């Protein structure tokens, strides 16, 4: 597969300096920018999926008329969190 390029990016010298100051050993500015781009794409895809699930859940609740009180949901989430925390502590 051929590689492609990302358009050049003009930034303030302060931003470039800040990026260069956080590079890890052996890391290049190009690899840092590529990794940042990959992470941001992953984050936005996850965000879009989260919103889509929320909208689908809303539509299902409207269709069925089945809703859950926030207190019940939070109580269940607290229980799941406590279980995960106890499991991690073992």
Q: What percent of the chain has pLDDT over 70?
A: 100
pTM above 0.95, yes or no: no
**DSSP-based helix, strand, coil % in the chain, nearest 5:** 70, 0, 30
Contact partners, residue 16, CB within 8 Å, separation at least 6: 29
Nearest partner of 5 among 30, 25, 40, judged by Cα: 30
Mean pLDDT of all residues in 48-75:
97
């Amino acid at each position: 597969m051929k590689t492609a390029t990302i358009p050049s990016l003009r930034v303030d010298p302060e931003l470039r300096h800040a990026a260069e100051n956080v590079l890890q050993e052996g890391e290049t500015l190009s690899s840092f920018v590529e990794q940042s781009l990959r992470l941001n794409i992953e984050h936005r895809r996850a965000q879009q999926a989260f919103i889509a699930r929320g909208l689908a859940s809303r539509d299902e609740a409207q269709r069925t008329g089945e809703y859950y009180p926030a207190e019940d949901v939070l109580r269940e989430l607290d229980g799941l969190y406590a279980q995960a925390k106890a499991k991690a502590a073992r």
